Amino acid sequence: MKLPDTSRSMVDWRMSLEECRATCSKNCSCTAYASANVSGSASGCIMWTTDLTDIRWYEGDIGQDIYVRLAAADIESQSNSHHTHLAAIILVPTLTIFLAVCGACYVWRRKKREHYINVDEEKQVKDMDLPLYDLDTIREATKDFSIDNKLGQGGFGPVYKGKMIEEKEIAVKRLSKTSVQGVDEFMNEVMLIAKLQHRNLVQLLGCCIQGGERILIYEYMPNGSLDAFLFDETKSMLLDWPTRYNITVGIARALIYLHQDSRLTIIHRDLKAGNVLLDEDMNPKISDFGMARIFGGEDSEANTRRVVGTYGYMSPEYAMDGNFSVKSDVFSFGVLLLEIITSRKNRGVYNSAHHLNLLGHVWSLWNEDKAMEIIDKSIEHTYLVSEVLTCIKIGLLCVQEQPRDRPTMTMVLKMLDSNYNALPEPRQPGFVASRGSSTITQLSSTNSLSMTILEGR
């Protein structure tokens, strides 16, 4: 380095470089010092007490060394910076390794927990004598869950069509990672449907619990769900009145089986058009038992703080207070029956002046003796007027506000018999106003309820 301008510096040829350093450190005005001997020997002393000017840097070993004096604060700052840098060099890799170890432990414990859960679930399934399918078999059957094989999407997750090696067609329900239903609902459905055998209930063929996947394998219903027909202007024309009537009777028989003819009392809690599947002959089969509840002995009703179901099908006492019983399913059946007759969704608004939903609209026309106006036009000339009017009346009786005023499903099946003439007169239904209306029927409410609404497909 070329030394700074020395015109204002002090030079002492008698000092050694070490003595020069000591003198500079004692002089508060000293800003730098250097050896006065350009030959390279550390003798002589040059001290600067002013600004250092005309300094030049040379590449290689050309020039002389200069020692610049710094304030203690600057030295401490540089020292701290050095220590901080050193700490960062040490801390960052250490922290990274620590987080990596923690992450690995979390993954390991999660896999271990899932393993134990899967083993426990598999044991429960085996105890039910239900076939367990290998995940690779299901992937092959559905072409690795191809979007082309997807049949629909429900609260449980996506449903795929599959074909087994023996050419048997199946429906595969795959529990979604983001599903509002969880493992408990999955096992609930497995345990319930595995024990039930009825021609109007969808048959569970097996399940798959492997690699974090939870999958149900059902018999395939070629005609899909009832809602796909009812609420489609073109497809609804394929449902004449005899077909709709047979579907109604089949659903009623399935509910009777669930409520009283099976070993235990079972309440479905999510009966709707989307959960009624149709086979190749348009026979109905109730599906989706994830929300169902079992009652033993003489019990037939309960209360829950977590209300689950589909808006438009839930009974007033269940939606508002969390109380449910077999009469809750009766209410859902009544809504479904009126939808079957009209091909209209209960959630719609059918009277703009009074914000009436389907129940309110049917009730209004019934009181005005205009009930025939609500019947789906596509079934004209295929029904007996008396039979359809009876079904409308049954639908209204099923959706009465108070559970005690609703018939049992056994009584409903008797009413559906054309020879039954002792039908009582219905009263105003519960929930006659559309969603969001301020004129909804007066009902009590409970602040401690949490509601999960499962929208229809």
Residues known to be catalytic: 270
SS3 label, residue 65: coil
Distance in angstroms (rounded) separating the CA atoms of residues 362 and 366 = 6
Pick from 346, 329, 310: nearest CA to 260: 329
State the Cα angle at 74 between 73 and 76, rounded to 5°.
65
- Rounded (to 5) percent helix, strand, coil in the chain: 40, 20, 40
| DSSP secondary structure string for all residues of 103-141 | HHHHHHHHHHHHHHHHHHHHHHHHHTT--B--HHHHHHH
Q: 134: which 2 tokens? A: 């290998």
Residue 160's contacts (CB-CB under 8 Å, 6 or more residues apart) are: 142, 145, 146, 149, 150, 151, 171, 172, 174
Interior CA angle at 173 toward 171 and 179, to 5°? 160
CB atoms within 10 A of CB 273: 24
CA pair distance 402, 424, nearest whole angstrom: 15
**Nearest CA among 209, 145, 203 for reference residue 183:** 209
- Whether the Cβ atoms of residue 307 and residue 314 lie closer than 8 Å to each other: yes
Measured CA to CA, the distance from residue 301 to residue 266 in angstroms comes to 10
C-alpha–C-alpha distance, residues 10 and 317, integer Å? 101
What is the chain's Cα-based Rg?
41
- In sequence order, the β-bridge partners of residue 162 are 170
**Residue 322: left (phi > 0), alpha (psi -120 to 50), or beta?**
left
Beta partners for 278? 284
